[in-house]
């Protein structure tokens, strides 16, 4: 097997139930560094003070924090709310301006990847049609800022789908090097997890499920891996024996290692709520992944 250049990161989305309640931004970042990760993923609207125009003092503190903890900005989550206005969806011009705003801010903060999230029009998360013309309009800016836009392949989307086919066709048609795929490992879950704890909001409890649960074979990852620029290592629960009964990590890692894929595994905890739970679960996941990678390395010798 080819030795991969896999690096460990964390999405601050993992701390959603505690961020702003029991943990500050500093607390979350310190925890990421303490567990041995080197990559940091954020959501622009959630984690940037006075988004989209953070004050100079906040920017200074941001870079000082990264330097102090030896962290690299990885992926910046952008939200293009196509249903922002009652009675109509966003126009191409409006969606373009939102993407431009986030590309510029992400570049200012040192990020290389921007995950654009748009409103969807089907149950398998096909994005609003505005995504394609708006994305094409910002490719020159992305190239100027050295940013790669990477929409997320997120359950219940599957790899063999119109959603992914459209993204791949866009890459082929434009010939761009500034558009790729973000693979969320929740796509490969073996069984459903129903989150417990916390307080349901007006948006629900996070457990909405389509009537049919798609099953995605991990081998499908091989078909698109050449276009995958970032991996969100989604997980729900690592037990006391460091086993994950939801996400097939051994299969996923075997493909990444064998294909020599390079990039960040950005942990995204989306399990039960509870004080300190995300921090504990992130450490369990990293320990599990490190053990599995060590096993793969031993087999290769």
Cβ-Cβ contacts under 8 Å for 274 (sequence gap 6 or more): 17, 197
Q: Taking a C-beta distance cutoff of 8 angstroms, is the pair 4, 256 a contact?
A: yes
DSSP 3-state of 133: helix
CA distance readout (Å), 14 to 11, 108, 124, 262, 264: 6, 23, 23, 23, 16
Tell me: cis bond preceding 52? Omega within 30 of 0 counts. yes
**Cα separation, 282 vs 199, whole angstroms:** 22
The interaxial angle of helices 56-69 and 25-34, nearest 10 deg, is 20
Pairwise CA distance, residues 74 & 47, whole Å: 14
Q: Spell 102-116 as b/e; 16+ CB within 10 A means b.
A: bbebbbebebbbbbb
Give the residue among 145, 147, 112, 152 at the shortest CA–CA distance from 13. Answer: 152
Report yes or no: 82 and 121 within 8 Å, Cβ to Cβ. Answer: no
Could you tell me which residues are beta bridge partners of residue 9? 39, 266
Catalytic residues: 154
Burial 183-203 (b: 16+ CB within 10 A, else e): bbbbbbbeeebebeeeeeeee
Q: How far apart are the first and last CA of the chain?
A: 9
Distance, CA of 107 to CA of 184 (rounded, Å): 23
């Amino acid at each position: 097997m080819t030795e991969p250049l896999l690096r460990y990161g964390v999405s601050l989305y993992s701390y959603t139930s505690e961020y702003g309640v029991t943990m500050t931004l500093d607390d979350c970042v310190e925890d990421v560094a303490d567990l041995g990760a080197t990559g940091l993923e954020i959501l622009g609207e959630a984690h940037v003070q006075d988004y989209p125009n953070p004050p100079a003092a906040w920017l200074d503190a941001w870079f000082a924090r990264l330097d102090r903890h030896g962290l690299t900005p990885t992926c910046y989550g952008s939200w293009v709310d196509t249903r922002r206005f009652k009675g109509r969806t966003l126009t191409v011009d409006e969606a373009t301006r939102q993407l431009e705003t986030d590309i510029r801010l992400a570049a200012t903060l040192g990020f290389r990847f921007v995950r654009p999230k748009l409103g969807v029009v089907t149950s398998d998360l096909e994005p609003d049609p505005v995504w394609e013309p708006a994305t094409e309009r910002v490719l020159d800016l992305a190239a100027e800022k050295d940013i790669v836009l990477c929409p997320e392949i997120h359950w219940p989307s599957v790899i063999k789908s119109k959603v992914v086919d459209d993204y791949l066709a866009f890459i082929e048609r434009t010939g761009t090097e500034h558009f790729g795929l973000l693979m969320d490992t929740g796509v490969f879950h073996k069984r459903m997890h129903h989150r417990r704890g916390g307080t349901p909001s007006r948006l629900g409890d996070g457990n909405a499920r389509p009537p049919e649960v798609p099953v995605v074979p991990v081998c499908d990852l091989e078909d698109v891996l050449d276009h995958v620029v970032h991996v969100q290592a989604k997980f729900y629960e690592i037990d006391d024996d460091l086993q994950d009964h939801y996400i097939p990590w051994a299969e996923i890692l075997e493909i990444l290692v064998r294909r020599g894929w390079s990039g960040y595994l950005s942990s995204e905890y989306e399990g039960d709520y509870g004080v300190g739970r995300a921090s504990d679960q992130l450490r369990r996941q990293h320990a599990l992944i490190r053990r599995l990678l060590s096993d793969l390395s031993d087999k290769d010798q």
